[in-house]
Structure 1
Amino acid sequence: MAANRIEPQPFPRCWDDLIGHHRLRESIAIAIRKRRLGGSLLFVGPPGVGKTSAALLLAQTILCRRNSSADMNPCGQCPDCAQVRAATHPDLIQVAKPADRSLIPLEALIGPVEARLQEGFCHDVHMRPMQGERKVAILHDADFLNEEGANCLLKTLEEPPSDAIIILIGTSEQRQLPTIRSRCQTMRFSSPVGAEGRELLRRHLEAIAGEGEPPPTLSDEQLDEAIELAAGDMQVAARLASGQSGEIRGKLLSQLDTPVPDPVIVARCINEHLNEVSKKDAPLRRAALRDVCAIAVQHYRSRLRASARHGQFDHDCARRLDRTIRVFREIDRSANLNTLIDCYAADLTLATTGDRGAIG
């Protein structure tokens, strides 16, 4: 029985449809053929590049009983494949961070207090497969494990059942505890570039356009610019390319270009953008703030590269870049957005990293 209900997500029908990860696909295929695929895997890379799609394709490959997993060609038609795609397969365990929580709750990993180790992700992994010979367990949002939650996983990751494959999905190795990294085989997903990057971004644009609505028609140059501006984060790139965050770019950059940004104007600019996106929906507002920070990060990176070409180092610019990057972590921690924006605007003016110890 799955540890919690995960809504089915669209993902490529076959490995050939997975964009931009040919080497990873081949590595997985070789490992399966040689029976060397690790029991505990860690998929890391920017959001939207295909980590979840690859994990679900691997689950479908392992659980399909019509075609051998060594062929890397799940049939997509048998009951097992259909259940994987519908997120209802009894041997596919999925756990993710609830939308209203800042961390993956402990009960999702080891069960509620009254049923410790009798429910949850770790318990379900050790249960015998119900339908076939193998089972696959996917832990989404591994970035949001606290130390206690990560410690609950250590024994399971170190000694996974012989009939199970465990996949953790995160955005970077640095956001995982060393004890987690040391117990997993890490597979790094990079953001596709060139024609593959544009094709992947077009798919994201189709996904957010809505049913019956055509995605925006954009040139290759516009798509490349959005990918660069988002630093490879395809979810942010799709919002930037769709125009959802286009208007704020000029307003924000006019302030970021000044030697001392005005904190009142910066905060007002950001708040106006968030209110245009949504006045009440917290996830949408957090996503909009991520877009703003993506614009600022790319701006400061460009300035640092320009100063480096002249043999100089802009200390203020580097501190403002660090401060902007810290905002992403604070967004993930569900910090109060109004307070966060005010602190960020003030810290940009002072050119400080905003490091406030345990608070920052």
Structure 2
Amino acid sequence: MAAKKASTTSPKAAKTTRAIAVDAPPLKSWSDLIGHDSLITGLTAAIRQGRLGGSLLFVGPNGVGKTSAAILLTQTLLCERSTARDMAPCGECPSCVQVRVGTHPDFIQVRKPDDKTLIPLELLIGPVDARLQEGFCHDVHLRPMQAQRKVAILHDADFLNEEGANCLLKTLEEPPANALIILIGSSEQRQLPTIRSRCQVLRFQTPPGEAGRALLRKQLDHYQSQHEDESLPTMSDDALDAAIELSAGDMHVAARLARGGGEQIREALWNQLAAPVPDPTAIVRLINGHLDSISKDVPKRRAALRDVFSIAVQHYRRQLRSDASSGKYDPATHRRLDRTLRTFREIDRSANLGTLVDCYASDLTLAATGDRGAIC
């Protein structure tokens, strides 16, 4: 019965799960994956010893190599000129090229659309008129068309709603024998425990020192290759380190800060936040002015707002460390950090960014007294 179903697919189903644009620096070999030597060693051993599970969960800060590693692992498994045990995909055979551009018939991908706050259910199990006949969970069970196995990557796993996560869980509970499923998220805590327990978890970290700077330079070079009309400033090691610190290790944020004058917005925002009682009007004006200078496009403004709140989080964390070293403790600082972190988590769920910023700025003032009445 399963074989008969696996012998057919539909163009519509393929369209929903393949040939998506993934913005990640391409890797030619595993040696290009910066700062993750122990992870590569573990993957290599698992493949050569036949211990690679059917479901993997890649977690870690954005931009540290999770997506690039997932694409390279797919090439490693599907390459026509080398075996997976070699851990050396050629990058030139038809399969490697098709994986790189997202058109391999046995390579499935789903990501959150830019204009959505969550992964739509139809991308997982098909539209209402074709439930369980299309989508990620359906396509991964189809028989491979070209290779010996299928690889399915679910990007943005942090953005599954409860119904979508439960649909995925059913697939993980009964995984196809000839497929590898890779989930990519920012942290284990943002995944359902039942999903975590059914995956091998690979933890990616922001590499320290020169490796971290090299990784950020690679992100900037990748951006430059796609935007040749823009000229990026030469970044000193200190400037790169500052961008990484401000971003809390998120290389996507660090790259945007490095490109978009992160020093200026950091200095201006920190000056506002350092006031005993922050001026909400000035903070709203500063943040909205920064967003306006970036773009009128909502997804880009949302990304820029994440950068702003990364800067705010770093400010309050530095303040708490400074207070601790001098034996002081200001509960208002702790409340403001808590409010900043909660607002950061709400950015991708909020339909109205302006209201989010207004509420946040007002609540910073109330933090001095502990009054939470106006918190949105």
TM-score range, shorter chain: over 0.9
SS in 1 for 2:103: coil
Counterpart AA for 1:71 = D
CA contact (8 A) 1:12 1:18 kept: yes
Q: CA RMSD in A?
A: 1.8
Aligned partners of 1:213, 1:270: CA distance in 2, in Å?
A: 24
Answering whether residue 372 of structure 2 is matched by residue 340 of structure 1, we say no
Answering whether residue 61 of structure 2 is matched by residue 46 of structure 1, we say yes
SS in 2 for 1:46: coil
Aligned partners of 1:332, 1:180: CA distance in 2, in Å?
A: 22
Cα deviations by residue, 1:181-203 (Å, 9 ceiling, x for unpaired): 11111111111111111011111
Match of 1:297 among 273, 289, 313: 313
SS in 2 for 1:137: strand
CA contact (8 A) 1:49 1:191 kept: yes
Aligned partners of 2:372, 2:75: CA distance in 1, in Å?
A: 44
Deviation at 1:254, TM superposition (A): 1.2
Counterpart AA for 1:349 = T
CA contact (8 A) 1:205 1:216 kept: no
Match of 2:119 among 104, 110, 115: 104
- Counterpart residue number, 1:249: 266
CA contact (8 A) 1:2 1:124 kept: no
Answering whether residue 45 of structure 2 is matched by residue 30 of structure 1, we say yes
Match of 1:7 among 21, 37, 47: 21
Answering whether residue 297 of structure 2 is matched by residue 284 of structure 1, we say no
- Counterpart residue number, 1:84: 99
With the length of structure 2 as denominator, give the TM-score of the two structures.
0.91
Aligned partners of 1:203, 1:257: CA distance in 2, in Å?
A: 34
Alignment of 1:205-354 (within 5 A): 205-209=220-224, 210-211=227-228, 213-278=230-295, 280-351=296-367
Q: Please, which moves more after superposition, 325-334 or 55-64?
A: 325-334
Aligned partners of 1:142, 1:355: CA distance in 2, in Å?
A: 32
Deviation at 1:354, TM superposition (A): 10
- Counterpart residue number, 1:67: 82
CA contact (8 A) 2:58 2:203 kept: yes
Match of 1:174 among 182, 189, 193: 189
Deviation at 1:8, TM superposition (A): 5.3
Answering whether residue 168 of structure 2 is matched by residue 145 of structure 1, we say no
Structure 2 runs not aligned, ≥5 long: 1-13
SS in 2 for 1:186: strand
- Counterpart residue number, 1:118: 133
CA contact (8 A) 1:44 1:173 kept: yes
Deviation at 1:213, TM superposition (A): 4.5
Structure 1 runs not aligned, ≥5 long: none
Deviation at 1:158, TM superposition (A): 2.1
CA contact (8 A) 1:245 1:288 kept: no
Deviation at 1:256, TM superposition (A): 0.8
Aligned partners of 2:261, 2:325: CA distance in 1, in Å?
A: 33
SS in 2 for 1:348: helix
Aligned residue-pair number: 357
Say if 1:355 and 1:174 are closer, same or farther in 2 by CA, change over 3 A.
Answer: farther
